[in-house]
C-alpha cells in the first residue's frame, strides 16, 4: 500500500477518535443537565448576573419551567452543547477542524515537527478561539431574550468552537506558520507545481470556474430545499455547499478536463462512496441509540421541528464531502499525475 494512503488512513482514524472523545464529552454535559432542565446564569441578591472576569458565567441547573417563571437567563438546555439531534453534522464539522489541525497544520503523521512556530501558533490560536467564543457568548447573553444563550449563538456550542477552529487553522496554514513545504501545497488545484491543470494557471478560467461553482451550489441547494432534505435556514445550508465547492475545485481542479487527470477520478469516486458509508454509519448509530444520537436522516425530532424526517441530509452530504475531500487529498488522490507532452508542431 502506498505510504501516502497509509498515512491518510492513520490520520482519519486518529481524527475519528479525537472527534468521538470531544463529542462524547459535550454529549455527557448535555445529559448531565437532564431532560426538562436548563443551565441558568446565577444572579446575586441585587438581581445582577454573576460572571468571572466578565466572560465565564456562574451556572446553576434547575427545571426550565422554574427558570422561566423566575425570569432567569437560560444558558443552555440539553442538546445545546453537542448537538445530539444532528450529531452526524456536528461531528462532521469537528472532523473537518481536526483534520485541518492534525493533518495540515501539524503534518501528522508523516511530517509532524513541533517547531517553535507551530507550538506558539497552537497555544496562541487555541487561546484566541477560547476567548473569542467567550466574548461572543457574553455579547449574545446580554442581548438574549428568548431561547438559550448557546442556541442563539451558534445553535450548538460544538459548532461555535469547531467553526472558529477551522477558520484559524486555515489562516495559520495560509500564512505558513505550519511550515508546510511550498512545493507540496495543501490544495493543489489552487496553485503550486501543477503543469497539467491548465485552468489552475489561468486567472480567467479559475474565476469562471468559481462563478460556475456558485451557480452549481445554488442549484444543489434549490434541489435540496424542494426535496425537503435541507434545513429551513437556507443561508447555512447553502454556505456549506459553497465551501465544499471551493474545497473540491481546490483539490481536483476547476473543470471536468481537470477531474480526469491522474488519480482524481478514483478520488472523486471514493469521496462519494465514503460519504455515503459515513451517513449510513451514523444512521445505524441513530437506530441503535433509539434516536438519542441523531444522524440528520430519517429522524423524528427533525420532522417535529422542520416537517421533514430528512431535513439534515443536505448538511450531512455537504459536511462529509468537505471532510473526505480533504482526507483524500492528503492520500494523494488529487494528484494530476504526469503530463502527456504535447506533440511538436511541424512547419509546413
pLDDT of residue 332: 86
Spans of all domains in the chain: 1-181, 185-336
pLDDT of residue 76: 94
pLDDT of residue 179: 45
- Rg of the chain over CA atoms, in angstroms? 23
pLDDT of residue 145: 75
Q: What is the reported pTM? A: 0.83
pLDDT of residue 200: 47
Cell (9 digits) for 160: 461555535
- Those residues of the chain that have pLDDT short of 50 are 179-200, 342, 345, 347-348
Assign 3-state DSSP to the chain and report helix, strand, coil percentages, each to 5.
Answer: 60, 5, 30
pLDDT of residue 251: 87
pLDDT of residue 337: 66
Query: What share of the chain has pLDDT > 90, as a percent?
Result: 39
- In tens, the pLDDT along 8-52 reads 899 999 999 999 999 999 999 999 999 999 999 999 888 889 999
CA distances, 15 to each of 163, 277, 327 (Å): 16, 17, 10
- Collect all residues with Cβ–Cβ distance below 8 Å to 166 and sequence separation of at least 6: 93, 96, 97, 100
pLDDT of residue 82: 92
Amino acid at each position: 500500500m502506498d505510504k501516502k494512503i497509509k498515512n491518510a488512513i492513520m490520520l482519519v482514524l486518529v481524527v475519528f477518535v479525537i472527534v468521538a472523545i470531544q463529542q462524547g464529552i459535550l454529549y455527557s454535559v448535555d445529559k448531565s443537565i437532564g431532560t426538562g432542565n436548563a443551565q441558568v446564569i446565577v444572579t446575586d441578591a441585587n438581581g445582577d448576573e454573576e460572571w468571572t472576569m466578565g466572560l465565564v458565567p456562574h451556572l446553576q441547573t434547575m427545571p426550565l419551567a422554574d427558570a422561566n417563571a423566575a425570569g432567569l437567563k437560560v444558558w443552555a438546555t440539553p442538546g445545546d452543547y453537542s448537538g445530539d439531534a444532528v450529531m452526524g453534522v456536528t461531528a462532521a464539522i469537528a472532523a473537518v477542524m481536526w483534520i485541518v489541525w492534525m493533518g495540515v497544520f501539524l503534518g501528522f503523521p508523516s511530517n509532524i515537527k513541533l517547531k517553535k512556530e507551530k507550538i506558539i501558533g497552537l497555544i496562541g490560536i487555541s487561546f484566541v478561539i477560547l476567548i473569542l467564543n467567550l466574548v461572543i457568548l457574553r455579547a449574545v447573553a446580554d442581548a438574549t431574550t428568548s431561547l438559550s444563550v448557546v442556541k442563539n449563538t451558534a445553535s450548538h456550542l460544538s459548532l461555535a468552537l469547531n467553526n472558529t477552529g477551522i477558520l484559524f487553522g486555515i489562516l495559520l496554514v495560509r500564512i505558513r506558520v505550519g511550515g508546510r513545504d511550498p512545493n507540496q501545497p495543501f490544495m493543489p488545484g489552487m496553485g503550486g507545481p501543477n503543469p497539467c491543470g491548465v485552468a489552475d494557471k489561468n486567472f480567467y478560467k479559475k474565476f469562471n470556474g468559481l462563478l460556475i461553482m456558485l451557480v452549481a451550489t445554488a442549484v444543489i441547494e434549490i434541489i435540496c430545499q424542494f426535496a425537503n432534505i435541507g434545513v429551513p435556514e437556507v443561508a447555512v445550508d447553502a454556505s456549506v455547499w459553497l465551501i465544499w465547492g471551493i474545497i473540491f475545485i481546490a483539490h481536483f481542479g476547476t473543470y471536468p478536463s481537470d477531474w480526469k487527470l491522474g488519480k482524481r477520478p478514483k478520488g472523486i469516486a471514493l469521496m462519494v462512496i465514503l460519504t455515503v458509508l459515513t451517513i449510513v454509519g451514523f444512521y445505524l448509530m441513530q437506530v441503535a441509540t433509539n434516536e438519542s444520537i441523531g444522524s440528520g436522516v430519517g429522524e423524528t425530532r427533525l420532522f417535529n421541528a422542520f416537517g421533514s424526517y430528512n431535513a439534515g441530509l443536505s448538511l450531512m452530504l455537504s459536511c462529509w464531502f468537505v471532510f473526505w475531500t480533504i482526507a483524500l487529498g492528503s492520500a494523494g488522490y488529487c494528484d494530476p499525475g504526469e503530463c502527456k507532452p504535447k506533440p511538436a508542431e511541424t512547419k509546413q
